[in-house]
Amino acid sequence: MTTETEVRIFETPKKVYKAIAKEIVKHAQKTNQPRFDIALSGGNSPKGLFKKMSKKYRDLIPWDRIHFWWGDERCVSPHDAESNYKMTVDYLLSKINIPKENIHRIKGERSPVEEAQRYSEEITLNLNSRNEIPVFDLIILGMGGDGHTASIFPNQMELLNSDKICEVALHPNSGQKRITLSGRVINNANRIFFLVTGENKAIRISEIMNDTDAAKQLPAYHIAANSGRLIWFLDDAAASKI
Ligand code: 6PG
């Protein structure tokens, strides 16, 4: 599989969600593989996508073959408003009929170091590898206004090249502990979809798309599907300064 990067720009966030949902339907329906492993992003951006997947496209997605993972999680209880898992339950998992064994939650309530190790082992047990690195079929990423992605923040760029599968990260402002996939695992995915919408992301998107010196300080800039396909799904607002 060749390394390709593509940028798709849509008028509204809803059209971004629809485009990503259709891609998930297309790839998940391929019957040449027994399962389709997707790592989800957290935050707010995926909420609209999850709504699309749980309503308009619900009957087109073979849920019994889909395995959900997370690209990162806050080290909080699964019932905490901050939990990416809770957000996914609220907007998607509570609305679809998916086998519970297909849900691979990061246990944010556990000791971060121990859970990073446990989750890494669960990933290794379930996924194929390429170059001895686990391969996700699809990783969906958001991007923060500071250019972070997953929970790899600009002041922790070393997590991009960590030789671990999962790392413990610290939110630079709140100090909140997080568990994140390392950049090496993210970049090893077959497909990476960035879901970025809103005016507040426009400056960073402009820096990244114009390959500026400032971009090189941003974790999101260093995401590249080394042996797969990277597609940026943007709305007009996020793309307005390219
Ligand atoms: C998280 C996310 C994070 C998110 C960005 C964008 O745990 O917060 O995984 O990487 O994707 O911060 O967040 P919004 O979608 O809320 O802008």
What is the per-residue pLDDT across 114-154, written as a single tens digit (0 to 9) for each?
999 999 999 999 999 999 999 999 999 999 999 999 999 99
Mean pLDDT of the chain: 96
For residue 96, give the CATH number of its domain. Answer: 3.40.50.1360
Q: Is residue 97 part of a domain?
A: yes
Measured CA to CA, the distance from residue 159 to residue 219 in angstroms comes to 9
Q: Work out the percent of the chain whose per-residue pLDDT is above 70.
A: 99
Using a cut of 0.85, tell me whether the model's pTM lies above it: yes
- Report the distance separating Cα 20 and Cα 52, nearest Å: 9
pLDDT at 227: 87
Tens of pLDDT, residue by residue over 46-84, are 999 999 999 999 999 999 999 999 999 999 999 999 999
Q: Count other C-beta atoms under 10 Å from residue 203's C-beta.
A: 15
Cα-based torsion angle of the residue sequence 183, 185, 189, 193 in order, rounded to the nearest 10 degrees: -40
Answer whether 141's CB lies under 8 Å from 194's CB: yes
In a domain, 94, yes or no: yes
What's the average model confidence in pLDDT over 174-184?
98
Angstrom distance (rounded) from CA 217 to CA 128: 31
Of 40, 139, 143, 171, best ligand 1 pocket probe by most atoms within 8 Å of the beta carbon: 143
As a whole number, mean pLDDT of residues 20-35 equals: 92
Quick check: is 230 in a domain? no
Q: Which residue has the higher pLDDT, 31 or 177?
A: 177
Report the pocket of ligand 1 as residue ranges, CB < 6 Å: 41-45, 71-72, 84, 142-144, 148-151
Do the domain assignments include residue 148? yes
| Residue at 186 is within a domain | no
Within a domain: residue 232?
Answer: no
- Residue 17 located in a structural domain: yes
Structural domain count, the chain: 1
Q: Tell me which residue range forms the domain holding 11.
A: 4-181+194-222
Distance in Å, CA 141 to ligand 1 centroid: 8
53 falls within a domain: yes
- Report the pLDDT value the prediction gives residue 2, as an integer from 0 to 100: 46
Residue 31 CA to ligand 1 center (angstroms) comes to 31
